[in-house]
Amino acid sequence: MSGHPYDFNYNYYYYTDFNQTEKKDIILNTSSWLSLVRIVLVILLRVGFVLIHIGSVPVNNVNLILLQNIIDFCWVTIVYALVGSVIAYTGDIRGLLGAGYWIGDEIVDKDEIIIGWSAVVIAAAILTCGIVGRTHTVGYLVVGFLLAGLVQPFLIHWIWTPQGWIRTNVLQEREVHFHDWSGSVIVHLAGGLSGLIGCMILGRRILRLDAIDAASIAVGSAGTVFAGQLFVFIGLQSLGISNVQVQKFKVNSKREYNVFINNLLAGCSCSLLVVAFHFLLPREEFNHWTVMRCVQATVAGLVIISAGTDIYSPQVAISVATTGSVIFYLVSRQVFRSALEDYCNITAIHLACAFWGSLLVPFFCADEQADIKAILLNISWQLICLIAIIAFVAIVMLLAFGILQYIGLLRNRSEYLNHLRANIAEGRTGRKSFLERLFRIDRDAIYLQPGTSLND
């Protein structure tokens, strides 16, 4: 097959028979198409999250959800393009940040920029699950700026660029690596942790999620959420598409196909196991929330293997998803019985599963010739970096949400009134500590439907 860009006998792409002009044209054309596919997939994902918000978040004004989603999408895109991309890519300064080239400079790899854009837009969508319909517009803009303009761009540079200090470093005179192929940490953990912090600081309008009965759930909500989760599953495939400009066609095609096969198998495995848990374990009532968990598990399975989906065999992907299904199920049930208003279950789907998957990946990505010490050092480095990243994201977001609450720009008007009603009702029943309100199971907890008054 001399003269053809593909040589499938060796599962590698070759371009040595082409002159420089032909090589450049092929790379540019392929990159452009892949970037277009990536953009379309991310837009589908955002549509999916809008459907999830509409079907899950108890906000009387659906137009508010639609408006805040389009503001968030456009705002993080502009912020990332003008600020975040300068930090994430365009060169390197000591492994910490980019060299300062703006998006309009010819030296900037626009396809690489789109890869970072997909990461920040997806993480912003995850974050909105915890605060949508509840946050003041100014609060939305501030938190979106920090996530897309600072927090994630630094993580992208540290982890996804070859010079990043987290990606490769030296520990006890040995080279160690941090592995995150599809944004387990950069996207899911960062977005999930930010959303959890926002949800916790916003407080609650009800005292426990499981206080909502089936009668208060609108007809069609289940179908809306189901469709939304499938759109999210499809959209997350964008994070598995590699950058042709960087790879220069020297990519093992068989391995690249495994990325999407692994995603499919992991999602299906996790969902089937969660269905089995609901039917086999005692005291598990079959209702709206259990069905939603089974649907959410398809996305959770993909999140669990996202850190190492490029190196996993299909068998390993199924095994990792199997262990992750237990984590997802247990965390989901705990959140459901807590006072945390995580209607979209981002804590279990994105935060818990991303953390678990990132912990497991160093056990499978070690070189076959590596000794025990090298393997242990890589495991230690993965854990050290995970702790550092969690601390970094948590400090920034706690400060942001805390300051917004202090200056009165955290909650919108309807959210402020609902929160005030909940505090008054709680005062009548005896005030509890924050941890007691969040985690203590109380079967007689007061339930306040958003938009109702205490006299109803």
Which pLDDT belongs to residue 404?
93
Which pLDDT belongs to residue 35?
87
Q: What is the mean pLDDT of residues 405-411?
A: 89
Q: What is the mean pLDDT of residues 113-138?
A: 92
Residue 438 has pLDDT above 60, yes or no: no
Pick the range with the lowest mean pLDDT from 86-100, 241-255, 361-375: 241-255
Pick the range with the lowest mean pLDDT from 187-196, 236-245, 288-297, 377-386: 236-245
Pick the range with the lowest mean pLDDT from 22-26, 79-83, 412-416, 433-437: 22-26
pLDDT class of 211 with cuts at 50, 70, 90: low
Global pTM? 0.85
How many C-beta neighbours within 10 Å does residue 327 have?
18
Q: What is the mean pLDDT of residues 100-123?
A: 90
Which pLDDT belongs to residue 369?
57
**82 close to 54: Cβ distance less than 8 angstroms:** no
Q: Is residue 271 part of a domain?
A: no
The rounded percent of the chain whose pLDDT value lies above 70 is 75
pLDDT in tens, 276-300: 998 887 666 667 778 888 999 999 9
Residue 189 has pLDDT above 80, yes or no: yes
Taking Cα atoms as reference points, which of 205, 127, 201, 203 lies closest to residue 402? 201
Q: What is the mean pLDDT of residues 429-447?
A: 50
Residue 302 has pLDDT above 70, yes or no: yes
pLDDT class of 217 with cuts at 50, 70, 90: low
Q: Is residue 190 part of a domain?
A: yes
Mean pLDDT of the chain: 81
* Stronger pLDDT, 223 or 273, i.e. the higher one: 273
Q: Is residue 312 part of a domain?
A: no
Residue 92 has pLDDT above 70, yes or no: yes
User: How far is residue 411's CA from residue 211's CA, in Å, rounded to a whole number?
Assistant: 23
* Stronger pLDDT, 13 or 332, i.e. the higher one: 332
Which pLDDT belongs to residue 16?
43
Q: Residue 167: which residues within 8 A CB-CB, separation 6 or more? A: 158, 159, 160, 161, 177, 178
pLDDT class of 255 with cuts at 50, 70, 90: low
Residue 389 has pLDDT above 70, yes or no: yes
Pick the range with the lowest mean pLDDT from 195-204, 225-234, 316-325: 195-204
pLDDT in tens, 47-74: 999 999 988 877 667 888 899 899 999 9
Number of domain units in the chain: 1
Which pLDDT belongs to residue 101?
86
Question: How far, rounded to the nearest angstrom, does the alpha carbon of residue 380 sit from its chain's CA centroid?
Answer: 23
pLDDT class of 441 with cuts at 50, 70, 90: very low
Q: Is residue 238 part of a domain?
A: yes
pLDDT class of 102 with cuts at 50, 70, 90: confident
Query: Token pair 């941890």 is at which residue?
Result: 435
Q: Is residue 180 part of a domain?
A: yes
Which pLDDT belongs to residue 125?
96
Which pLDDT belongs to residue 368?
58
How many C-beta neighbours within 10 Å does residue 20 have?
8
Q: What is the mean pLDDT of residues 25-34?
A: 62
Q: Is residue 378 part of a domain?
A: yes
The rounded percent of the chain whose pLDDT value lies above 90 is 47
* Stronger pLDDT, 215 or 99, i.e. the higher one: 99
Euclidean distance between the first and final Cα of the chain, in Å?
77
Q: What is the mean pLDDT of residues 447-452?
A: 39
Which pLDDT belongs to residue 281?
78
User: How far is residue 195's CA from residue 347's CA, in Å, rounded to a whole number?
Assistant: 8
Which pLDDT belongs to residue 75?
96
pLDDT class of 371 with cuts at 50, 70, 90: confident
Q: What is the mean pLDDT of residues 2-31?
A: 43
Which pLDDT belongs to residue 343?
85
**382 close to 362: Cβ distance less than 8 angstroms:** yes
Q: Is residue 154 part of a domain?
A: yes
Q: Is residue 345 part of a domain?
A: no
Q: Which domain holds residue 135?
A: 6-252+369-417
CATH of the domain at 86: 1.10.3430.10
Which pLDDT belongs to residue 341?
82
